[in-house]
């Protein structure tokens, strides 16, 4: 199993290109099931998660072709005929979001059998809302031996669905299913994440009829079929925010390109409050920090978009470990998302966790040590902390990191970080 080795103490100076958004790409990939025409996705990240989903799509008979295009990495998806509607556990367990193939399969073929999902162990994320939405659209659903069997032989039908709370996954799943349903579907208390807007706009380019983009009420008028399209994946705001935090932690000046500063305003506001210089640019932002000056401790509370993203909480906590004063971080999205705190403590951080709150008392320095990644975003928090830790930090279980960060060592290394990958044997999946 691979590990990442970091020697701390190097300032970061240079440019880092932001990849296409993982959380958008995997839902756009699922949209390829909805049409028998080619769907070309440009600005595609090459990640473990996109590879996992590509394997699953091939299981259904989707042709998946990765290639280099004029504007970078792209992938062509073509499903002229679906040869299977069965999603086995061995594939679905590797990535929770792969469960979202259920709706598109059901919408196009009228039947599907999909394993219940796996993914990061960051808290209970039941699929009840997904299944309730599909049931409201006329699907008959049975749960048996870890699988969801769903049928809608006469097709899905429009429905009014009000989610009891905001759910990104359920909103995306219902949207994917509703575009081919008979009649009109209204999704109330819909999530407003940029990745949902990206998915909706791609579906519209394919011929879907969707109103209320970027609001909490989406109205979808079903169509009989969708066409192909070419669509550029939105920049990854979590990757962008993570590298912004890495630059702030290590000090120096880093320009983040191919991104959008407006997608991470909740984060950059906190960073500015802590003493980091942020300069928005036409295609991203510039992060500056004098490492001889300690940052100020700042509180943060995770919220649904456009609030502070839960996917940036671990990385922000790393930044606060050496800030002057005490910061309080509240996690309101996932109840088990402080597993990185004990690992940061191995580097010398002073963190106390109680329920959904972490109190971080800033220390003057961190010291390198072996640590272990517990989930995707936690793994990046350990890398960020390792950038300033004295000596050597070794991050294990980096298959978590590979799920969401493309060429991380290369990108940080190009800016002066001493970060390298040590190849290991075996895999703990």
How confident is the model over 225-277, as pLDDT tens digits?
A: 999 999 999 999 999 999 999 999 999 999 999 999 999 999 999 999 999 99
The pLDDT value recorded for residue 2 is 92
pLDDT for 91 beyond 70 = yes
Across the range 137-151, mean pLDDT stands at: 94
Residue 311 known to bind ligand: yes
Q: Are residues 214 and 252 in the same domain?
A: no
Query: Does residue 413 lie in a domain region?
Result: yes
Query: Does residue 43 lie in a domain region?
Result: yes
Residue finishing a domain among 214, 232, 250: 232
Identify the residue whose tokens are 């575009």. Answer: 179
Q: What is the pLDDT of residues 344-388, one digit of tens each?
A: 999 999 999 998 999 999 999 999 999 999 888 899 999 999 999
Residue finishing a domain among 212, 232, 252: 232
* Count of domains forming the chain: 2
Residue 189 known to bind ligand: no
Q: Are residues 213 and 291 in the same domain?
A: no
Q: Are residues 137 and 258 in the same domain?
A: no
Domain CATH code at residue 99: 3.65.10.10
* Residue 97 confidence class, pLDDT cut points 50, 70, 90: confident
Residue 299 known to bind ligand: no
Q: Are residues 68 and 216 in the same domain?
A: yes
Residue 22 known to bind ligand: yes
pLDDT for 200 beyond 50 = yes
The pLDDT value recorded for residue 118 is 56
Query: Does residue 198 lie in a domain region?
Result: yes
Q: Are residues 395 and 249 in the same domain?
A: yes
Average per-residue pLDDT in the chain? 95
The pLDDT value recorded for residue 429 is 41
Residue 129 known to bind ligand: yes
Residue finishing a domain among 205, 232, 259: 232
Residue 23 known to bind ligand: yes
Both tokens assigned to 221: 């008028």
Q: Are residues 214 and 76 in the same domain?
A: yes
Is 120 catalytic? The answer is yes
Q: Are residues 226 and 345 in the same domain?
A: no
Q: Are residues 324 and 376 in the same domain?
A: yes
Query: Does residue 427 lie in a domain region?
Result: no
Query: Does residue 428 lie in a domain region?
Result: no
pLDDT for 106 beyond 70 = yes
Using alpha carbons, list the distances in angstroms from residue 415 to 272, 314, 387, 402. Answer: 22, 22, 12, 20
Residue 223 known to bind ligand: no
Q: Are residues 270 and 307 in the same domain?
A: yes
| 156, 184 contact by CB (below 8 A) | no
Q: Are residues 293 and 405 in the same domain?
A: yes
Q: Are residues 43 and 137 in the same domain?
A: yes
Q: Are residues 242 and 186 in the same domain?
A: no
Residue 201 known to bind ligand: no
- Among 12, 29, 33, 120, the active-site one is 120
The residue segments making up the domain with residue 356 are 3-18+235-422
Dihedral sign for Cα atoms in the order 35, 40, 45, 51: positive
Q: What is the pLDDT of residues 13-62, one digit of tens each?
A: 999 999 999 999 999 999 999 999 999 999 999 999 999 999 999 999 99
């Amino acid at each position: 199993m691979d590990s990442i080795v970091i020697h701390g103490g190097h300032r970061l100076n240079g440019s880092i290109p932001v990849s296409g958004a993982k959380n958008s790409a995997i839902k756009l990939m699922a949209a390829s099931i909805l049409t028998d025409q080619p769907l070309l996705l440009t600005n595609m990240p090459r990640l473990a998660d996109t590879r996992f989903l590509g394997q699953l799509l091939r299981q259904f008979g989707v042709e998946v072709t990765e290639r280099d295009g004029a504007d970078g990495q792209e992938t062509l998806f073509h499903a002229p005929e679906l040869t299977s509607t069965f999603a086995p556990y061995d594939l679905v367990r590797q990535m929770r979001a792969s469960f979202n193939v259920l709706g598109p399969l059901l919408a196009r073929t009228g039947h599907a059998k999909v394993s219940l999902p796996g993914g990061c162990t960051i808290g209970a994320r039941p699929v009840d809302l997904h299944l309730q939405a599909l049931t409201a659209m006329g699907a008959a659903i049975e749960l048996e031996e870890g699988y969801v069997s769903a049928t809608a032989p006469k097709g899905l039908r429009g429905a009014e669905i009000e989610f009891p709370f905001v759910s990104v996954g359920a909103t995306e799943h219902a949207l994917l299913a509703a575009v081919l349903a008979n009649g009109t579907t209204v999704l109330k208390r819909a999530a407003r994440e940029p990745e949902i807007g990206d998915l909706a706009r791609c579906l519209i380019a394919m011929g879907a009829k969707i109103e209320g983009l970027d609001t909490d009420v989406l109205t979808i008028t079903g169509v009989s079929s969708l066409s192909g399209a070419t669509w550029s994946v939105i920049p990854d705001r979590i990757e962008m925010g993570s590298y912004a935090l890495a630059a702030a932690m290590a000090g120096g000046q880093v320009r983040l390109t191919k991104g959008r500063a407006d997608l991470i305003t909740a984060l950059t506001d906190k960073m500015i409050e802590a003493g980091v210089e942020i300069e928005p640019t036409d295609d991203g932002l510039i992060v500056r920090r004098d490492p001889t000056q300690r940052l100020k401790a700042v509180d943060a509370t995770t919220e649904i978009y456009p609030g502070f993203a839960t996917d940036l909480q671990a990385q922000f906590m790393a930044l606060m470990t050496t800030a002057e004063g005490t910061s309080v971080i509240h996690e309101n999205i996932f109840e088990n998302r402080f597993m990185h705190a004990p690992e940061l403590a191995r580097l010398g951080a002073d963190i106390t966790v109680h329920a959904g709150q972490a109190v971080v008392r800033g220390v003057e320095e961190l010291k390198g040590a072996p640590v272990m990644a517990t989930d995707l975003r936690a793994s990046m928090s350990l890398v960020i902390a390792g950038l300033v830790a004295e000596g050597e930090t070794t991050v294990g279980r980096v298959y978590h990191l590979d799920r969401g960060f493309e060429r991380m060592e290369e990108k940080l290394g190009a800016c002066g970080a001493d970060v390298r990958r040590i190849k290991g044997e075996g895999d703990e999946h």
